A and B are shown apart, each in its own frame.
Chain A
Amino acid sequence: MSKPRLALFDFACCEGCQLQIVNMEEEILDLISVVHPVQWREAMSEQSEEYDIAVIEGSITRPEDEERLRRIRERSRFLIALGSCAATGGINNLKNQLNLKEAQRIVYGDAADMPHLDTDSTKSVDEVVLVDFKVLGCPIDQQEFAYIVRCLVLGKTPEIPTYPICVECKLQENTCRYEHGEICLGPITRAGCGARCPSQATWCFGCRGLSDEPNVYAAREVMDKYRKTPSDLEERMALFCSKPRYDHE
């Protein structure tokens, strides 16, 4: 069987997730032993219109982006959303909390009315097209990306945690950030990064998005116990979880 052809496309993002793949260094040789890259802006100059696996980086913020994304989807057998921006909308979701005109003015000042700076609400990739796999995180975890690619080539659905970060944090024997008087989003954020931030002595920013059935009700309730308020929590959630899906079971 010939190696599947892989193409990487970037939309609204910092391209840091692509860079994580470039930074895999020697392991890139392993990666290209199972897939054949045909388009990857940060790593090669060639481009191609023929590919099996499309990797989408960044969120969708303009109507013409949606058109481009649909064309990519039509040409690919599998589509992977790479990183928070693509998988959940990521930081770009912050814009959705504002009036679009206001957002444009904040970013572009006097030039905000120029037609080429037109903008739309932020969408994750799966709000526009069907997504087969998501690689979460800001930036992504290299090992998780590698695992997902191997699963895809093998024909297996990758087993991505549905539970919160606390699991991985406890396994590493970290002291809970709440004990340090911080609001940590770990209890409602999807695991898979190995509790990267709490293991480096800072609270979880929630970059992987909410876990399955996050108990946001409980998160609000515990604020009182730690002498914080629900609005402190909301402020913290705004960065990566600004489309609240509160779970009131």
Chain B
Amino acid sequence: MSIKKINQESLYSWVDSLIRKQRVYGVQANGERFAFAPLTDARLLKLDYDVTILPPKKYLLPQREDLMEFHIKGEYKSQVEAEPFILFGVHPYDVAAISQMDSIFCADNYDVNYMSRRHSATIVACDVQKASPNVFAGCLNTATVQEGFDILLTNIGSQYLADARTAKGEALLKDLSGDTPTAQDLEKREQVWENNQRLLRKHKLKCHPDELAELLDRSYYNPVWEEKAKRCFSCGSCNLVCPTCYCFDVQDDLNWDMETGKRTRAWDGCLLRDFAAVAGGHNFRRQRADRYRHRYYRKGKYIANKLGKIACVGCGRCIDNCVPGIANPVEIYNRLYMSQKNIYVPEPATLMRVLPMTSQETFYEVRLDSGRELGHEPGQFVEISLPGMGEAPISVSSSPTQTGIFQMVVRKVGNVTTALSKFKPGDKIGVRGPFGSQFPVHDLMKGKDILFICGGIGLVPVRSAINFILDNREDYGQIIIMYGYKSPSERLFAKELDAWRKVPKLTLLETVDCPDDTWTGNCGVITTLFPHIKVDPARTSAIICGPPLMYRFVVAELARQGFTDESIFVSLERRMKCGVGKCGHCQINNIYVCQKGPVFKYADIKEVMEAL
């Protein structure tokens, strides 16, 4: 099978030539969102879309389709469609969903109405170029796919790679003029795949998808069903936008001659009130909560038992389209997972790398032995456990975009951290978490300039946010990092700081309290850096993390610069023993820092006694 490297222009002329030959359904703008629609001009294609409102299943199992025509005397005439068409620009998670629908409609009773359309379809897949707000395909192994399509397009910068994987795809690609990709091009494509596995994780599943069936077995009476169903409209939106939902209703309608008519099938949804109601009035899923629960069981258990794979591909459409905001499968499955656990028992993990950073601080890279992702957000912390020594709350320092491991930097100050400083790669530790609130990188900080103000090891949690922002660079404006520390020997992440200096639209300013002979930079407390920066407080979020004394001075300086209390975020330190809002040590007035914090909006704690 062949791979061709093509530029935008040859892609357009190729697509236009396809349009002349057969029906092409491609992704196009639909208001501010996107939809698959009949394509008349290649230039209307939006291959950099995030997600479509409805999945492309609508061309394989249409919203409404005729199954047969009939005559009331008892004559039936089957209706099966078989006109060839191309689905252009299908994202990997939707490819995975179509593969699942294929298994369903193929198995047991072969559904010729679906399968005939499916065989008429040529699927041109396209790797995701922009993550949608709620996608979590990365957690379900559907961020990239290697089968289930005919051609795969991947944007590798200014050009696309078009990769034919079937004879059908190969035939289409014949008309396309392009170059043979180099090894570097293929490497770039590998990089896109790797990035997408990391970046398409706007929600993080705490357990492995294969564990869901068993988890649900034990969750039938969980209070979450009633709690969420109270706010459920039973509107079926979560069903209808789902690429793996395929339930339908069948209805007859007569023509005006009152003799001939059609039997049609139309999408239905198990959330709808009368979905399981029978003639005579009995409804087998009468309560809202019955129907609400059924969806999660069907996705996570019933289909999983049948096909060996859960019926969710992580497209996030159900979350996008639920008006009351109760349809997030990750939230529900995580709730169930957490409610089955003794929350005080750590899970085993292994130190992958251990590097001394300063005389006091050590860098650790950790992998959870279960293989699951930690699933943290920038600003959150974990409890590190050493049996016999106890536990200590430690900030996560790596960005959530870095998968497979997480990183932390620990200063040896107490029993646990001093013992940990002697650990070597390969040694085992225990981990609980992640816990606490996050820097608001997904909402309040988005689209803004960001000013980071870090003192000493305050850089450790902030580094997670900085690297997250650098991995999602187009979502944020200018970045200014002010970093102060006692002496040059206490400078953390030296190599990374130097790399940040080279990033466009990023300014890094450093200062030390006690310079040595080698130091040529700024001396003095962190507020002495303010004269060197220019910020527009109206469009900037300020993040402060450092020793307690620093906050008062920095906040006062920000106020002088014109920052409002709403645009300042602080990360507070407290004694956090349990991490789950129970033990009481971290409490400030009525606030548990381990839950509502450690990251707070300054406006929210400004008036709270004892906070700062």
| Residue ranges of A at the interface with B (Cβ–Cβ < 8 Å) | 27, 30-31, 33-34, 146-147, 150, 153-154, 159, 162-164, 166-167, 170-171, 173-176, 178, 186-188, 211-215, 217-219, 221-222, 225, 249
Contacts and interface: CB of A to CB of B under 8 A. Distances in A.
A171 B256 contact: no
Contacts of A163: 234-236, 272-274
A159 B249 CA distance: 11
A33 B54 CA distance: 40
Contacts of A164: 233-235
A153 B255 CA distance: 12
Interface stretch (B306-314, B319-327, B419-427): B319-327
Contacts of B321: 170, 176
Contacts, number: 100
B54 A175 contact: no
B273 A166 contact: no
Contact of B237 (A159, A170, A219): A170
Contact of A173 (B30, B236, B272): B30
Nearest to A201: B31
Interface in B222-239: 230-237
The 4 closest A-B pairs by CB, nearest first: A166-B235, A30-B256, A170-B240, A187-B233
B521 to A, nearest CB: 46
B226 to A, nearest CB: 9
Given A34-B258, A167-B269, A249-B287, A175 B234 contact: no
A39 B54 CA distance: 46
A218 B233 contact: yes
A175 B288 CA distance: 25
A221 B231 contact: yes
Contacts of B232: 215, 218
Nearest to A165: B235
Interface string B259-271: 0000000010100
Contacts of B274: 162-163, 212
Contacts of A217: 230-231
A146 B240 CA distance: 27
A30 B324 CA distance: 44
B241 interface: yes
Contacts of A213: 234, 273, 288
A215 B241 contact: no
Per DSSP, chain A at the interface is helix
B256 A175 contact: no
Nearest to B35: A173
Contact of A187 (B31, B64, B235, B267): B235
B32 interface: yes
B230 A249 contact: yes
B338 interface: no
A163 B321 CA distance: 17
B63 interface: yes
Interface in B531-575: none
18 contacts: A31-B256, A150-B256, A154-B254, A162-B274, A163-B235, A163-B273, A163-B274, A166-B233, A166-B235, A170-B54, A170-B236, A170-B237, A170-B240, A175-B32, A212-B273, A222-B231, A222-B325, A249-B287
B34 to A, nearest CB: 10
A166 B323 CA distance: 10
B256 A222 contact: no
A215 B237 CA distance: 15
A212 B281 CA distance: 13
Nearest to A219: B233
Contact of B31 (A34, A171, A175): A175
A107 B288 CA distance: 43
Interface string B62-102: 01100000000000000000000000000000000000000
Contacts of B237: 166-167, 170
A11 B64 CA distance: 37
Contacts of A166: 233, 235-237, 323
B61 to A, nearest CB: 12
Interface string B472-510: 000000000000000000000000000000000000000
A9 B104 CA distance: 52
B33 interface: yes
Nearest to B277: A162
A174 B63 CA distance: 14
Contacts of A27: 256
Contacts of A222: 231, 323-325
B54 A188 contact: no
B526 to A, nearest CB: 37
A167 B287 contact: no
B254 A150 contact: yes
A191 B461 CA distance: 50
A149 to B, nearest CB: 9
B30 A171 contact: no
B231 A215 contact: yes
A175 B53 contact: yes
B231 A175 contact: no
A171 B231 contact: no
Most buried by A among B53, B235, B241, B253: B235
Contacts of B241: 170
Contacts of A219: 233
B236 A167 contact: yes
A31 B233 CA distance: 37
B156 to A, nearest CB: 31
Contacts of B233: 164, 166, 187-188, 214-215, 218-219
A186 B237 CA distance: 11
A104 to B, nearest CB: 38
B358 interface: no
Contacts of A214: 233
B240 A225 contact: no
A167 B251 CA distance: 16
A153 B253 CA distance: 12
A153 to B, nearest CB: 6
Contacts of B325: 222, 225
Interface in B180-234: 230-234
Most buried by B among A166, A178, A222, A225: A166
A203 to B, nearest CB: 12
Contacts of B236: 163, 166-167, 170
A35 B273 CA distance: 34
A215 B256 contact: no
Contacts of A215: 231-234, 288
A170 to B, nearest CB: 4
A218 B33 contact: no
Contacts of A221: 231, 324
Contact of A218 (B231, B253, B272, B273): B231
Contacts of B288: 213, 215, 249
